[in-house]
Amino acid sequence: MSAPVIEVQGLKKYFSTPRGMLHAVDDVTFKIEEGKTLGVVGESGCGKSTLGRTIIHLHEKTDGKIFLDGKDISDLKKKELKAAREKMQIIFQDPYSSLDPRQTVDATIREPLIVSRRYTKAEIDEKVEALMDLVGIDARLQMAYPHELDGGRRQRVGIARALALDPRFVVCDEPVSALDVSIQAHVLNLLKKLQQEKQLTYMFVTHDMSVVRHISDDICVMYLGQVVEKCEAKELFRNPVHPYTKALLSAIPSTDIDNPNQREILTGEITSPINPKPGCRFAARCKYATDACHEPQVQEEIAPGHFVRCCRCHEIG
Amino acid sequence: MSDITVNAAGARPKKKSEFVRIMKELSRNKLAVIGVVLIILEALIAIFAPLIAPYDPLEMNLAETFMKPCAKHLFGTDDVGRDLLSRIIYGARYSLSTGVLAMIFGVVCGLLVGSIAGYAGGQVDNIIMRILDVIQALPGMLLLIVLASMLGGGFLNTVIAMGVGAIAGNARLIRAQIMKEKSAEYIEACDSINCSKFRIVMKHLLPNTISPIIVSASMSIGNYVVLGSSMSFIGLGVQPPTPEWGALLSDARSYIASYPHLVMFPGMAIAITVLAFNLLGDGLRDAMDPKLKH
């Protein structure tokens, strides 16, 4: 077991809104080991993107600790923060808005190298070429503008920019959900290949269960800012315990025509993330809910490495 | 992808400067070229006025007052017998330079103030915008008069007074654009690669937000030409008998029924200038947007 690259303890991110505190990320704890991928799944608005952005300091956290390679990076001064940020990068969901429309491919990939001030001009030229080869963008497109590229190529540019400074940890914020299905596989395979070559550690945010199954080692299921279940990817698909995870997994379309899966349809609306009640946040939609569910829930390890936040997990599991 | 030159043996394309690209794009737009040619022509006329003008613009000739356009005086003469063509030629010097300089002053200050307000947001934005509100609450002409009388008349002070009046509008325009763009993901990406705030504003936000400013600025030059004339009319701008286009117009206003050519020719000069800058502005907007490239 190698040392964790990223460790998060009790991370919280609240946004203040006119109606109260919005609990986007509430008490999230996990580790990711070197070269591994943590998949984070959940429906839109559950705080999975905010979690990624808070870890890499694009948002300021409300509370909690973040460790990078064992070093506490939760409260850094400006200079150290810059160094830490270089080691953590992000690949965005929408390659149409994450590239500056007035910058060429070359300028976009070059920028992190210029800003870091670690390289001479000749070294940067060389690195840009190497990065373009690495992510598979034709050299002839070096001076092209983003609107001249298709979604897959744009996303490759975004990946090249993220990898320019040789990060340790990359947040992939739904990197394929804006792409055509045919291109999704290319980009996913590229991400896997890069992970193996560079020993990258990924946090892979998505709402697509089949994608997360393909790419993750471990999976976190998030609901309204909280991790409701966390375990190895295989274990999660084989033995989901939390009622929300079960409902989520039953939504994966089956390819077996004789044996269509029984969908569990959730009723009710997602409850408001603003000033949530102390109990289980899923209780309002959960068919197993009892009075005990409205008490604060603790995370329980029901099997080695399998964590669930549900007081009834033994009865219903 | 027309401007991506692929060299032999798959060599990497050469980098072209943004300026060269915009100029090339501009040269493909016929209307913009007409605009540029007109502006260059007017500039040349202004620069070489003493060589081109057939008469001294200030020389009165009471024997030849109110002449209609004829071979001797192509544009006719005014109430004290000054040659109108010569006065318009010399007037280009004052009118063009007040217009252009006031525009530059207003745009540069507006960009600075607007981008700070838009990017910083919060209290900084609030304070800056409330000050601009006060400036904009005053009627434009009143502000201009107050400023000009504080600074005193004359060419440079008129330019500054007009420019100050334009800061608020330009700042508002750029602030709105920057607020729209600053939450885009590519700006977040800049944060994650440690771009400084200065770099984000200069390299990413301004290039993506400047087109409407350029268009409005190039079109506003025409307004400044007219505004500068109004100033000279009330005695706060360029002082008579300096032949400024607006001044020529206001001098001729009493004779508009009997000698319309006295109004027509300076009016045409102003109209052509406004048209030229509008054509250039339109062309620039298209040329600066890489998405509209053919």
The DSSP secondary structure of chain A, one letter per residue, reads -PPEEEEEEEEEEEEEETTEEEEEEEEEEEEEETT-EEEEE--TTSSHHHHHHHHTTSS--SEEEEEETTEE-SS--HHHHHHHHHTEEEE-S-TTTSS-TTS-HHHHHHHHHHHHT-S-HHHHHHHHHHHHHHHT--GGGTT--GGGS-HHHHHHHHHHHHHTT--SEEEEESTTTTS-HHHHHHHHHHHHHHHHHHT-EEEEEES-HHHHHHH-SEEEEEETTEEEEEEEHHHHHH---SHHHHHHHHTSPP--SSS--------SPPPPSBS--SS-TTGGG-TT--GGGGSPP--EEEETTEEE--TTHHHH-
Split at pLDDT 50, 70, 90, the class of A127 is: very high
Tokens standing for B267?
A: 């009016």
Please state the domain extents for chain B.
28-53+72-292
In a domain, A132, yes or no: no
B-chain residue closest to A98, CA distance: B186
Q: Which pLDDT value is given to residue B16? A: 58
The pLDDT tens digits of the residues spanning B9-34 come to: 444 555 556 678 778 888 888 898 99
Rounded mean pLDDT, A228-233: 91
Q: Is B143 left (phi over 0), alpha (psi -120 to 50) or beta?
A: alpha
Rounded mean pLDDT, B165-184: 88
The pLDDT tens digits of the residues spanning B101-159 come to: 999 999 999 999 999 999 888 899 999 999 999 888 888 888 888 888 888 777 888 88
Interface test with B, best of A111, A138, A169 (most B CBs within 10 A): A111
User: Are B208 and A101 inside 8 Å of each other by CB?
Assistant: yes
Instruction: Report yes or no on whether pTM surpasses 0.95.
Output: no
User: Are B193 and A164 inside 8 Å of each other by CB?
Assistant: yes
Rounded mean pLDDT, A257-276: 77
* Phi, psi angles (nearest 5°) of residue A229: -155, 140
For chain B, the DSSP string reads -TT-PPPGGGPPPPP--HHHHHHHHHHT-HHHHHHHHHHHHHHHHHHTHHHH-SS-TT---GGGTTPPS-SSSTT-B-TT--BHHHHHHHHHHHHHHHHHHHHHHHHHHHHHHHHHHHHH-HHHHHHHHHHHHHHHHS-HHHHHHHHHHHH-SSHHHHHHHHHHHHHHHHHHHHHHHHHHHHTSHHHHHHHHTT--HHHIIIIIIHHHHHHHHHHHHHHHHHHHHHHHHHHHHTTSSSPTTS--HHHHHHHHGGGTTT-THHHHHHHHHHHHHHHHHHHHHHHHHHHH-GGG--
Residue with the two structure tokens 């530059």: B104
More confidently predicted of B216 and B109: B109
Burial group, residue B80, by CB count within 10 angstroms (0-12, 13-18, 19+): middle
| Residue B17 burial (CB count, 10 A) | 8
Does pLDDT of B218 surpass 90? no
CA of B20, closest CA in chain A: separation in Å?
Answer: 14
User: Are A101 and B6 inside 8 Å of each other by CB?
Assistant: no
Q: Which pLDDT value is given to residue B9? A: 41
Does pLDDT of B5 surpass 70? no
Does pLDDT of B3 surpass 50? no
CATH label of the domain that carries residue A243: 3.40.50.300
CA pair distance A65, A11, nearest whole angstrom: 6
Interface test with A, best of B1, B7, B186, B203 (most A CBs within 10 A): B186
Q: From residue B130, give the alpha-carbon distance in Å to each of B136, B168, B169.
A: 10, 10, 13
Highest mean pLDDT of the ranges A194-198, A251-255, A264-268: A194-198
Look at chain A and report how many structural domains it folds into: 1
Question: What is the overall mean pLDDT for chain B?
Answer: 82
Peptide bond connecting B241 to the previous residue in cis, omega within 30 degrees of 0? yes
Class of the B28-53+72-292 domain? mainly alpha
Query: Which residues of chain B are within 8 Å of residue A141 when distances are taken between CB atoms?
Result: 4
User: Are A161 and B193 inside 8 Å of each other by CB?
Assistant: yes
The length of chain B is 294
A-B contacts (CB, under 8 Å): 89
Query: Which residues of chain A are within 8 Å of residue B3 when distances are taken between CB atoms?
Result: 143
CA pair distance A195, A190, nearest whole angstrom: 8
Q: Which pLDDT value is given to residue B294? A: 46
Comparing CB atoms, the residue among B3, B194, B291 nearest residue A82 is: B194
Q: Which pLDDT value is given to residue B13? A: 54
User: Are A90 and B15 inside 8 Å of each other by CB?
Assistant: no
CA pair distance B173, B111, nearest whole angstrom: 9
Q: Provide the residue range defining the domain that includes A207.
A: 4-33+40-87+167-179+201-316
User: Are A102 and B208 inside 8 Å of each other by CB?
Assistant: yes
CA pair distance B167, B179, nearest whole angstrom: 18
